[in-house]
Amino acid sequence: MKIPAIGRISKDSGLVPLETSGDGAFRVGCDGVRAIAATGDRKVEFIAFADHTLAYVHSAMGYPAYYPVHPVRLDKPIAAVLMDLDGTSVHSEAFWIWIIEMSTASLLGNPRFQLEEADLPYVSGHSVSEHLQYCIRKYCPDKTVEEARRYYFEHTERELQAIMEGRGRPGAFTPAPGLKEFLLELKGMGVKIGLVTSGLHEKAWPEILSAFQAMDLGDPREFYDAIITAGFPLRRGAPGTLGELAPKPHPWLYAETCRVGLGIDFARRHHVVGLEDSAAGICAIRLAGFAAIGVAGGNIVQGGARGLCCHYCDNLADVLPLLK
C-alpha cells in the first residue's frame, strides 16, 4: 500500500488497512479513494487519493477533525528541534498514569482499582479529558468526564505540592538519559529548541523545573527558545484553555511552537524536526508538516505509528548524528 505524503506502508509499519473511514465519509474504491489506513490505536486514519492524503483525527470528546497530510523531509542545516516533554525529555509517564488510575479509582469508589496493560496506549500522549473519557467508557460508563476531572485535579494538586515540598512520590520526574548533553549540543550547533507538551501548564511546569534542577541548567525559560503547553485548566470563574480539544495527535501544539514560538515560516518546515516517544505525538508532528524522529520507550510501536517516523532511535544520543 502506498499513501501520498507518507510513502509505501510496510507490514511492520503498525498502520492497519481499512475499507471505510471511522465516520463513514470515505470508502476504498469510491470517490477517488485509493486506500485507507489507521494507526494501530485507531486514533488517526489516513485517506489516500491519487495525489494527496487526508488525515482524520478521532476525538473521545466528540470533536474529530480532518487535516491535509504534507510531504516531509529532513534538510540540513537543522534550524529547530521540537521536543516532547513526557517520556522524551522527562520520564514522568508512570506518574501521570498513576494519577489517571487514582482518578478512576475515586470514580469507582474502589481504592484498589488498577489499570490493565492494554489501557496504557490510551492513557498517555493525549489530553487529560481524553484519558479520563477512555477510562469512563471502559470502567464506569455511568460517570461523567466532569466528575473525573474534579478527582484528577484534586489528586494532581495534592501530589505536585508534595513533590515541590520534597515529600512526594520518589522518582516522579527525572531527566531522560543524555538529555543534558543533547540540549547543550544543540545549543552549540545554534539550533533553536522548542519544548512541546499536551500537558496542562500546572502539571508540566513542575516537571520542567525538576529536570533542570537535576541537570543544573538554570532557568528553563531562559534556556528554551519556546515552551508551549496545553495552557491552564478550565475552572469555574476562571479563563481556561483550548488544549483539551486540540491536543496531540492534532497538529496545533507543534505548529504553534514552530510558527509562533520560534518564528519559523511553514515554507522552511523541512529544516525542522520533531522528537517524540508517543504515537499521538508522532502523528501531531507529521500533521504539522515536520519530519518526525521516534524515540524508544513510549508507545510508538504499540500505538501503530512506527511507519510515520523518518527515523526511530533507542535514545537521544542516537538522534544527534542525524541532526549534524
**Digit-coded pLDDT (tens) for 216-250:** 999 999 999 999 998 887 777 878 777 778 889 99
What is the pLDDT of the chain when averaged over all its residues?
Answer: 93
> What pLDDT does residue 115 have?
97
Pairwise CA distance, residues 130 & 247, whole Å = 9
Predicted local confidence at residue 277, as pLDDT? 96
For residue 4, what pLDDT is reported?
Answer: 96
User: What is the DSSP secondary structure assignment for residue 19, as one 8-state letter?
Assistant: S
Confidence band of 92 (pLDDT split at 50, 70, 90): confident
Out of 100-114, 123-137, 148-162, 230-244, the most confident range is 100-114
Checking if the pLDDT of 210 tops 90, the result is: no
Q: What span, in angstroms and rounded, lies between the C-alpha atoms of 229 and 198?
A: 6
Spell 274-310 as b/e; 16+ CB within 10 A means b: bbbbbbbbbbbbbbbbbbbbbbebbbbbbbbbbbbbb
Q: Does residue 88 surpass a pLDDT of 90?
A: yes
Which residues neighbour 250 within 8 Å (Cβ) at sequence distance 6 or greater? 57, 65, 67, 284, 287
Q: Inform me whether the pLDDT recorded for 125 exceeds 80.
A: no
Residue 166 pLDDT exceeds 80: no
Class of domain 80-91+174-323: alpha beta
pTM of the model: 0.85
Find out whether 113 and 151 touch, Cβ atoms under 8 Å: no
164 — pLDDT class (breaks 50, 70, 90): confident
**Structure confidence by residue, pLDDT tens digits, 130-149:** 899 999 999 999 999 999 99
pLDDT at residue 43, as a whole number = 93
Cβ contact 277:91 at 8 Å: no
Question: What confidence score (pLDDT) does residue 11 get?
Answer: 83
Three-state SS at 252? helix
DSSP assignment, residue 26? -
Q: What CA–CA distance (Å, rounded) separates 308 from 55?
A: 12
Q: Is residue 57's pLDDT more than 90?
A: yes
Residues of the chain with pLDDT > 70, as a percent, come to 99
Those residues whose C-beta lies under 8 Å from the C-beta of residue 212, and which sit 6 or more positions away, are 218, 219, 220, 223
Say what the pLDDT of residue 200 is: 84
Residue 279 has pLDDT above 90, yes or no: yes
Predicted confidence at residue 251, as pLDDT, reads: 97
